[in-house]
Chains A and B, each alone.
Chain A
Amino acid sequence: MAVKKRLNMRKRYELLTRGLAWEPSYQPREKVFPYEDFEGIKITDWDKWEDPFRLTADSYWKYQAEKDKKLYAVMDSFAQNDGFLNVSDASYINALKIFIQGVSPLEYQAHRGFAHLARQFAGEGAQIACQMQSIDELRHIQTQIHTISNYNKYFTGMHDPFHMHDRVWYLSVPKSFMDDARTAGPFEFITSISFSFEYLLTNLLFVPFMSGAAHNGDMSTVTFGFSAQSDESRHMTLGLGIIKFLLEQHEDNVPIVQKWMDKHFWRSYRLLGIVSAMQDYMLTESPLSWKEGWKIYFEDNAGALFNDLSRYGIKMPKFHEVATAEADHLSHQVYSVFYAFSHAAGFQTTVPSAKKMDWLSEKYPDTFDKYYRPRWEMWAEMEKEGKRFFNGGLPLDCQVCQIPMVFTDVVNGNPMKPTHRVSEYKGDKYHTCSDGCRDIFENEPEKYVQALVPPQQIFQGNCGGETIPDVLNWYHFAADDGGEYHGSTDEKNWKKWHGEQSDSGSQEKA
C-alpha cells in the first residue's frame, strides 16, 4: 500500500472545500450571480479570499454542540433555582428588555442577510464563511430568546419582542439600521455588518451588556454572552478579512469601501447611543462608562486598525472626531429622551439615585455636574411633588437614525446648541440630527425618504389610532410595561419576593 500523505489542517480544509464552485456555462454568470457588479465593486479572483475560520462542517457541529450543551445546562439551572432573584435590582432588568426588543431581532435579520451573501457571493470560501455566520446568528437569537424566556415569566416588557420590534418608535432606531444594511447590495451589507458594526464597534455593544450582566449578578445572560463571543470572534475575523479582500482586489474598490465605512460607522455609532444610555443609567452597577468604553474600544483600537488600513488609502471614518467629542454627552442626552418618553416605552426609567449621580459626576467630570445633574435634580424634585415629568408630545425624529433630535454641537464647543439639520429633496424638507446623518441622507435621498419615521407614521394614523393609548395598544404594550420605575409592577414584585416593604415614590435606593 502506498504511503499515505499527511495533510495539515489548512491543506485538508482547502482540499475539502476549494474547487467546489465552478464557472457556470449553461447559464450566464450574471443570471447566476445577479448582484455581483451593481455596486461597482470589482472582484478579479475569488480564490484570493482567505478563509477566516477553516472550519469544516463536521468540526463546526462538534464545537457548537459542545458549547450549547454547557449553555443550556446553565440556563436550566438558572431557571430551576430562580436565578433572577439574585440580580442586583429589578431595575437592572430594563437593560434586558432593551436587549430582547432591540438587539435580538437584529440577530435574526443578520441570519437572513448572511444567507443572502452565502447564495450571492461567487467564491465557495466566502459562501461557506457567510453561511456559518448565518446559522451562528440564528443561534444567537434563539439562545437569547431562551435565556430571556425565564425572565419574561417574572418581569414586564419582554412578552412580545418581535411584534414590538416591527412597530415601536424607539425600536425603529435598530430596525432602520439593520433594514438599511439589508436593503443594500451584498458588499455594502458585509461592510456594514461585518466590518463597521462587528469588527469596529461590537465591543461597545458586547462589553456593556455582558459585563453589565456580570456586575449585576445576571449569570444567565453572562453565559449566553460569553458563549456567543466565541462566534463573534470568528465574525470579527470575517469582517476584517472581507475588507482587506475588497481593498486588495481592485484599487477602484477603495473609494467605494471608504464611503460605506463612513456611512455605516455613523449609523452604528448612532445606534449605540441607545447602548450608552443603558450602560450609564440603566445598569444598577455600571462596570465601565460609555466614555471609558469609547476610549478603549474605539479611540485606541480603531486608531491602530486604521493605521494598518492606511496602506490601502483608507482613512478614519468621517465624523469620528464628532463621535469622540460627544462621548462626554451622549448617554446623558439619550437617556433624557428615554426618561421623558418612557410612558410610551416597553421599559421603565427613573431619576438616577444619589449614588449613581455621584458615579456619573466622577466619570464625566467635565459635563455631568455642569449640564445634566441640574436637570435630574429638577426632575427628582418634580417626582417628589407627585409631578413626575413626562413629555406628552411627540418628538421630531431624525430622518436617518430615527433618534429624536437631542444632539448638540459638542465638537465646536457649543453643547447647548442643537445640531438639527434640514435638507430638501424633490420639494420636501427632511430633518436630520447631525452633519453625519445629513451626509448619509444627501448621499442617498431616494433611500431615506422611504423611512417610516415613527412620529410621522403616528400622525398619519398608521399606528393603531390617534391617541397615545391606541398606539400603545397597537405596540402590545401593557399598562405596566413602561413609565416610572418607582411604583412599577417590577419594583413591587421585586420587593415582595425579597420580603421588603413597598415604598413607591421614594427614589433613594441603596
Chain B
Amino acid sequence: MSVNISKKAIEPIRTNFAYTERRVGKRPATRYQEATYDVQPTCGFHYRPVYDPSRELFDESRTAIVMEDWYAFMDPRQFYYTPYVTTRANQQEVMEKNLSMIEKQELLSTVPEALKQLVRDVVIPLRHVEYAANMNNQHIADQGYGASITGVAAFCGFDHIAMSQYISKLALALDDNEDNGLIAAREAWMDSPDWQPLRALIEEVFVVDDWFETLVAQDIVLDGLLHPLIFGHFMKEVTAKGGIPIAMMTAFMNDWYPETIRWTNHLVKVTAKESDANNALLAEWTKKWVAKAEEALKPVAELAFGDAGAEHLDSVKKELIGRLSKQGLKV
C-alpha cells in the first residue's frame, strides 16, 4: 500500500549562502563547499601579531607562492570534519579487528625474532618522524592561507599523530606491552648514526618559515619518499619473511598514503598551473628537499634493505618525481 504524505510546500527565499553562491551559482552547494569556501577572514584585522608585526593575522605573504584565488584548490576527497572523522573511524575499526585477531591468536609469536628485531630497528623510530610531521602540518594549518588548504593540513597532522601512535602500539605489541622497544628506538633516534641525518633534516624542516615550502618538504617530499619506502617496499619484504601480522598492524599507512597523495597531487597541479613563477619555485623546493631527503634516508634504507637500500630509495624517488611531473611540475 502506498502512503501519500501530504506536505505543505514552502518556497525557500534562497538556495545558498551568498558566499557559496558566488562560487557555485544557484545550484545548491555541498556541505563540503559550505564548510570551506571563503570561511577564513580576509580583511579588517584589528591588530598586528605581537610575534610577527610585519604581517597581518592572515596574510598571503607568508608564502612566496602567489595565487589569484586560494580556493582554486579544493580537496578532491572533499574532507570537512565529519567525513574526515567518519572515514578514519571506519579505518580504525579495521585496525582494531586486526589487532584483536593478532592478540587473540597470538600471531606475533609466529614471526621470527630476527624479523621482529629488524622491525624494531627500522620502523619504531619512525614514531618520532610522524610526530614531527604533525608539527610541520600544524605549522601549515597555523600559517597557511585559505581554509581549503589549512583544513586538510590540520587533518593530515592529526593522521600523523595517529600513525605515531599506531607505531607505538606496534612497539608495545612486539614487546608484550613493555616499553623497552620504545626506549631503544628513542635512543636510536637521538644517537644512532643511522638516524642522525634524518633527525637533522627534520629539525631543518622545523625552522622553514615559508609554510608552502614546509608543505613541499614534509607532505610532498619526505612523506613521498619515506612512506612508500617503509610502508610499501619494506613491509612487502616483512610480509614475505613471515611478518604478516606486522604488516596488518601498519595497514592504516597503506590506505592513508594513496589517499593523501590525492590532495597533494591536486595541490601541486593547481598551484603549478597558476604561473610559471609558482611552477619554478615549487620545482626548486622539490629538488632541494628531494636531494636532502635522499641523503638523509640512505642509512635508513640500508638499515631496512642492506645493500639493496640504494636501489629501493632510487625507485621511490623516481616514482615521486614521475608523479609530480604528471601534475605539470617541471622537475
Residue positions of A touching B, CB distance < 8 A? 1-7, 15-17, 19-22, 24-27, 31-32, 34-35, 38, 56-58, 60-62, 64-66, 68-69, 72, 82, 85, 105, 108-109, 111-112, 115-116, 118-120, 124, 127-128, 131, 134-135, 138-139, 141-143, 145-146, 149, 152-156, 158-163, 165-167, 172, 175-176, 179-180, 182-185, 447-448, 450-452, 476, 489, 493, 497
Contacts and interface: CB of A to CB of B under 8 A. Distances in A.
A120 B186 CA distance: 22
Interface of B: 7-8, 10, 12-15, 17-19, 31, 34-35, 38-51, 57-58, 80-82, 85-86, 88-90, 92-93, 95-96, 106, 109, 127-128, 131, 134-135, 138-139, 141-142, 147, 150-151, 154-155, 157-159, 161-162, 164-166, 168-169, 172, 176-179, 182-183, 186, 189-190, 199-200, 203-204, 206-207
Contacts of B127: 20
Given A115-B138, A152-B14, A183-B47, A163 B19 contact: yes
Contacts of B46: 172, 175-176, 179-180, 183, 450-452
Contact of A1 (B50, B106, B179, B200): B106
A183 B48 contact: yes
B138 A131 contact: yes
Contact of A124 (B39, B58, B131, B154): B131
B50 A183 contact: yes
A58 B95 contact: yes
Given A20-B128, A68-B86, A138 B43 contact: no
B92 A115 contact: no
Contact of B50 (A64, A120, A128, A447): A447
Nearest to B130: A20
A477 to B, nearest CB: 11
A15 B179 contact: yes
B111 to A, nearest CB: 12
Contacts of B155: 135
Contacts of A153: 12-15
- Of the candidates A19, A139, A158, A451, the one having the most CB atoms from chain B within 10 angstroms of its own CB is A19
B150 to A, nearest CB: 7
Contacts of A65: 82, 85-86, 88-90
- Of the candidates B58, B89, B178, B186, the one having the most CB atoms from chain A within 10 angstroms of its own CB is B89
A212 B246 CA distance: 53
5 A-B pairs with the lowest CB-CB distances in the bound complex, closest first: A57-B162, A65-B89, A153-B12, A115-B141, A119-B138
Contacts of A452: 44-46
Interface of B is mostly: helix
A119 B139 contact: yes
A118 to B, nearest CB: 4
Contact of A145 (B34, B154, B207): B34
Nearest to A34: B51
B165 A16 contact: yes
A66 B93 CA distance: 12
Contacts of A120: 142
A142 B47 contact: no
Contacts of A31: 206-207
B165 A56 contact: yes
A17 B162 CA distance: 10
Nearest to A71: B82
Given A57-B162, A85-B10, 13 more contacts: A19-B186, A22-B199, A112-B40, A127-B134, A138-B81, A142-B31, A154-B12, A162-B19, A163-B38, A166-B42, A176-B46, A447-B50, A451-B47
Nearest to A139: B81
Contacts of A56: 162, 165
A115 B89 contact: no
A27 B206 contact: yes
A145 B147 contact: no
Nearest to B199: A26
A182 B17 contact: no
16 contacts: A3-B176, A16-B165, A21-B131, A26-B199, A27-B206, A31-B206, A57-B161, A64-B81, A115-B142, A142-B82, A156-B13, A176-B47, A179-B46, A179-B57, A183-B50, A185-B51
Contacts of A450: 46-48
Contact of A165 (B41, B158, B166): B41
Contacts of B13: 153-156, 489, 493
Nearest to B190: A22
Given A20-B128, A159-B17, A166 B199 contact: no
